[in-house]
Amino acid sequence: MIARVTKLRLSSLTDSSNDALGPDGWTGRIAVLIGIAPEGLAFTAVVAAAGLALYAVHYDALAFLLIIAAIAIGAFFRDPDRIAEAPDSAVISGADGKVTEVIEAELPGGSGERFYRVSVFMSPLDVHVNRAPVGGKVLAVTHTTGEFRAAFRDEASEHNERNLIVIEDTSGSRHAMMQVAGYLARRIVCHKRPGDALARGQRIGMIMFGSRVDHFVPLSYRVTVVPGARVRAGESVIANLREMF
């Protein structure tokens, strides 16, 4: 497998509550108006337009199916606003879905650093927009090509197509978040690059269709979720900084 640092596109908006996932320009603004991620605008529009065209020539049944499909596609790419109300010292989930694993593990890349790894599996029914678990600065973004095994399996973090984002928080601690493509997911989107400033809860990318996000939380934190818990990106607390006496 080949690892490389990707050249990534910045979003035109940087406010943590209003920043739109790229692309920049009118497509992004239209997507924000209808509440979906810009990556889904073309898919939704093409299917909806085909449905309307068939309706115009009286292929009503097929037109109805395509309109329903367009609604389903738009629902998959939905991008609701989220507000993190937890203390600034908390780590919040970067993905919607179900916690599948909480273990201690090394950060990928061979640095030898150990973290708590909190894995969240996103089914095709979950919101797939990913958000920053902490505020700070992006230190590195590394994309690794790979396979497309079922994302809920443990080996997916080592064998699947993935994108690792390393973040330094405002106190100088290192965190990381890894977007892992699954069996259905064939595209990972990340709009951040090294040196970018992040606000906690800010939109940073998405993974299309079923997939997984691994959070790497420093050992100085206490993980507050267990396998089976449901979490929401940008809102749910997954770890708190341990009190120091």
Domain boundaries, position 96:
3-16+84-241
Q: Count of CB atoms within 10 A of residue 163's CB?
A: 24
236 is catalytic: no
Which class for 27: exposed (0-12), middle (13-18), buried (19 or more C-beta within 10 A)? middle
Q: Count of CB atoms within 10 A of residue 56's CB?
A: 9
Largest CA distance in the chain: 74
Q: Residues with Cβ < 8 Å from 213, sequence gap 6 or more?
A: 93, 94, 95, 97, 119, 120, 122, 130, 177, 178, 179, 180, 207
Same domain, 111 and 65: no
Residue 9 has a pLDDT of 31
Same domain, 65 and 166: no
Residue ending a domain, choose from 51, 76, 101: 76
pLDDT, averaged across the chain: 81
Same domain, 88 and 129: yes
In a domain, 22, yes or no: no
In a domain, 33, yes or no: no
Q: Are 239 and 217 in contact (CB under 8 A)?
A: yes
Same domain, 214 and 188: yes
The reported pTM is 0.76
Q: Are 193 and 143 in contact (CB under 8 A)?
A: no
Same domain, 51 and 172: no
Q: Which residues pair with 230 in a beta bridge?
A: 98
Tally of domains within the chain: 2
Per annotation, catalytic residue among 111, 211, 220, 236: 211
Same domain, 95 and 153: yes
Same domain, 117 and 220: yes
- The answer, yes or no, to whether residue 215 has pLDDT greater than 60, is yes
In a domain, 24, yes or no: no
Q: Residues with Cβ < 8 Å from 50, sequence gap 6 or more?
A: 66
Same domain, 168 and 235: yes
Residue 17 has a pLDDT of 36
- The answer, yes or no, to whether residue 163 has pLDDT greater than 50, is yes
pLDDT in tens, 91-114: 999 999 999 999 999 998 777 889
More confident residue, 38 or 169: 169
Residue 11 has a pLDDT of 32
- The answer, yes or no, to whether residue 7 has pLDDT greater than 50, is no
How far, in Å, CA of 92 to CA of 11, rounded? 21
The CATH code of the domain that includes 90 is 2.70.70
Same domain, 92 and 191: yes
Q: Which residues pair with 221 in a beta bridge?
A: 241
Same domain, 231 and 138: yes
How far, in Å, CA of 105 to CA of 223, rounded? 14
Same domain, 49 and 104: no
